[in-house]
């Protein structure tokens, strides 16, 4: 067997010929062999955008309330350990290796994917470390995603937009059908966006879940630097804005509070804990502003929906002389849609390639941006070269925005010596 975490992660990539292989049969069989029976409430969070933010807000509030919280998210930015946290601390290498070893001993010849293996390992760790509650982020879709072998005591779908069309379908309704596969009979299903596809309602009814929708069963109002939440189980007034930037974060924070309301009999949360959790929540690369001259902004926006939110948040900042975009994307994303959403906020495009199986080259992305090798657009082989050029060219009052993929932001963070929040 592998001897350390790096060897394990390399090994996991070899077990299934497909990086993404949706379906629950393989992972459910290994779960049964492991006898994984979580005794704690589980919150499963899916959706197109906002999953990571909702998970982070839930984790922060529940931690502030004194609970021992397990949180499983993906992908990671710099280190795999970021994916599995207990009490807001990333798992150490030894803990992950021990969990991987237990799975390997029982899986036999079942070809688990990297994500399936990691999901089982995370829940194995949460059971062993006696968490009070677990938050599991869907990797892709929902219905056929590995986390869906566990029953959600509350399921959250944050938003629905076009992404991963090869796996989930090419319309919001088809994608919503897949995302809503995490709903469970007799449990609350939270939808965190005002624009709800009909498939969300239909699947909630079919599953026998109680649907709570933003703008209907729960909602919020903001005023004078604070905001109020109103829901089916009561109201929370004079809340501080979450420390995650962007007006859309109030949607995410409201969805998190609605989920907590649905579990208030099992996991009561005081007003003090809710307020403290909002202030203390931290999540890298969601409109993360790195102080300096010039300022650096990191955002993992990689589809048009997220790009529109990024553009709106940039537009709300005080105007600066120039905005430099360091952008690299995966070729199966809607590159044209992302570029179109942000063109009005970008003065100089610095596009780069991603050295990954699905990575677009600088020329492929550059053709979408246009204006090759002009003052408005330049191409670079690597993200590191692009961000270094940005710092060489930008004035102290300019800003540099890095986005397009987790790969993009991770390479910028390494190039600038930054660590995760």
Which pTM value belongs to this model?
0.96
9-18, 29-38, 365-374: range with lowest mean pLDDT:
365-374
- Strand 288-290 relative to strand 295-298, pairing: antiparallel
Residue 38 sits at the vertex; the CA angle it makes with 37 and 40, to the nearest 5 degrees, is: 155
Instruction: Using the Cα atoms of residue 51, residue 369, residue 378 and residue 292 in order, give the sign of their dihedral.
Output: negative
Give the pLDDT mean for 365-384: 89
Q: Do 219 and 230 touch, CB atoms closer than 8 A?
A: yes
Give the pLDDT mean for 103-116: 96
Distance from C-alpha of 374 to C-alpha of 388, rounded to nearest angstrom: 18
Give the pLDDT mean for 274-286: 97
Q: Do 129 and 86 touch, CB atoms closer than 8 A?
A: yes
- Digit-coded pLDDT (tens) for 93-108: 999 999 999 999 999 9
Q: Provide the pLDDT confidence category of residue 7 given band limits of 50, 70 and 90.
A: very high
Does residue 233 register a pLDDT over 80? yes
| CATH code 3.90.190.20 region(s) in the chain | 288-415
- Mean pLDDT (the chain, rounded): 95
Q: Provide the pLDDT confidence category of residue 21 given band limits of 50, 70 and 90.
A: confident
The position carrying tokens 């609970």 is: 67
Neighbouring residues of 404: CB distance < 8 A, sequence distance ≥ 6 = 301, 302, 327, 328, 329, 333, 338
Distance from C-alpha of 229 to C-alpha of 221, rounded to nearest angstrom: 7
The position carrying tokens 């330049």 is: 378
* Best CA proximity match to 178, nearest among 43, 337, 48: 48
Does residue 408 register a pLDDT over 90? yes
Residue 35 sits at the vertex; the CA angle it makes with 32 and 37, to the nearest 5 degrees, is: 105
71-75, 353-357, 369-373: range with lowest mean pLDDT:
369-373
Q: What is the third-level CATH fold of 5-280?
A: 3.40.1190
Does residue 330 register a pLDDT over 80? yes
- Digit-coded pLDDT (tens) for 140-197: 999 999 999 999 999 999 999 988 778 788 899 999 999 999 999 999 999 999 999 9
Distance from C-alpha of 59 to C-alpha of 82, rounded to nearest angstrom: 14
Note the pLDDT of residue 225: 86
How many C-beta atoms surround the C-beta of residue 388 within 10 A? Answer: 16
Does residue 24 register a pLDDT over 80? yes
Give the pLDDT mean for 136-140: 95
Tokens of 100: 């991987």
17-21, 63-67, 84-88, 361-365: range with lowest mean pLDDT:
17-21
Tokens of 406: 């987790």
Tokens of 11: 């090994």
- Digit-coded pLDDT (tens) for 340-354: 999 999 999 999 999
How many C-beta atoms surround the C-beta of residue 79 within 10 A? Answer: 13
| Radius of gyration for the chain, computed over Cα atoms and rounded to the nearest angstrom | 21
Note the pLDDT of residue 327: 98
Residue 318: is it exposed, middle or buried by C-beta count within 10 angstroms (0-12/13-18/19+)? exposed
- Digit-coded pLDDT (tens) for 290-327: 999 999 999 999 999 999 999 999 999 998 899 999 99
The more confidently predicted of residues 169 and 336 is 336
Strand order in the sheet with 226-231: 219-223, 226-231, 234-240
Distances (CA, A) of 218 to 10, 194, 215, 256: 44, 10, 6, 11
Which SS3 state, helix, strand or coil, does residue 188 take?
strand
Note the pLDDT of residue 18: 77
* Best CA proximity match to 402, nearest among 241, 294, 320, 265: 294
Does residue 374 register a pLDDT over 80? no
Give the pLDDT mean for 322-345: 96
Q: What is the third-level CATH fold of 288-415?
A: 3.90.190
Note the pLDDT of residue 392: 97
Note the pLDDT of residue 373: 66
| CATH code 3.40.1190.10 region(s) in the chain | 5-280
The more confidently predicted of residues 332 and 119 is 119
Distance from C-alpha of 361 to C-alpha of 402, rounded to nearest angstrom: 16
Note the pLDDT of residue 23: 86
Cα distance between the two ends of the chain: 33
Does residue 213 register a pLDDT over 70? yes
């Amino acid at each position: 067997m592998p001897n350390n975490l790096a060897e394990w992660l390399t090994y996991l990539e070899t077990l299934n010929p497909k990086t993404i292989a949706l379906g629950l049969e393989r992972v459910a069989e290994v779960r049964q062999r492991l006898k994984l029976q979580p005794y704690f409430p589980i919150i499963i969070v899916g959706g197109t955008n906002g999953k990571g933010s909702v998970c982070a807000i839930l984790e922060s509030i529940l931690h502030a309330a004194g609970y021992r919280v397990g949180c499983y998210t993906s992908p990671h930015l710099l280190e795999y350990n970021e994916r599995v946290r207990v009490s807001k601390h990333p798992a150490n290498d030894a803990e992950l290796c021990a969990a991987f070893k237990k799975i390997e001993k029982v899986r036999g010849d079942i070809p688990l994917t990297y994500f399936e293996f990691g999901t089982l390992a995370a829940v194995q760790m949460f059971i062993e470390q006696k968490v009070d509650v677990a938050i599991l982020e869907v990797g892709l879709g929902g219905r056929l995603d590995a986390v869906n072998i566990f029953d959600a005591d509350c399921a959250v779908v944050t938003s629905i937009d076009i992404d991963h069309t090869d796996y989930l379908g090419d319309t919001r309704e088809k994608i919503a059908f897949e995302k809503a596969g995490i709903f469970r009979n007799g449990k609350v299903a939270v939808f965190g966006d005002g624009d709800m596809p009909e498939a969300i309602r239909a699947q909630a009814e079919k599953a026998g879940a109680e649907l709570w929708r933003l703008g209907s069963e729960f909602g919020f109002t903001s005023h004078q630097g604070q905001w109020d939440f109103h829901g089916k189980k009561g109201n929370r007034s004079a809340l501080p804005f979450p420390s995650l930037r962007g007006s859309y974060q109030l949607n995410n924070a409201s969805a998190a509070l609605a989920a907590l309301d649905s579990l208030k009999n099992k996991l009561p949360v005081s007003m003090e804990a809710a307020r403290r959790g909002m202030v203390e929540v931290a999540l890298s690369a969601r409109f993360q502003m790195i102080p300096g001259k010039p300022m650096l902004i990191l955002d993992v926006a990689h589809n048009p929906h997220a790009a529109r939110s990024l553009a709106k948040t940039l537009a709300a900042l005080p105007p600066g002389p120039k905005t430099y975009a360091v952008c690299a994307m995966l070729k199966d994303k809607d590159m044209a849609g992302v570029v179109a959403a942000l063109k009005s906020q970008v003065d100089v495009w610095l596009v780069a390639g991603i050295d990954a199986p699905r990575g677009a080259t600088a020329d492929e992305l550059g053709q979408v941006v246009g204006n090759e090798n002009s003052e408005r657009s330049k191409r670079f082989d690597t993200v590191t070269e692009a961000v270094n050029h940005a710092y060489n060219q930008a004035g102290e009052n300019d800003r540099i925005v890095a986005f397009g993929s987790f790969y993009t932001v991770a390479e910028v963070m390494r190039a600038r010596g930054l660590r995760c929040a």
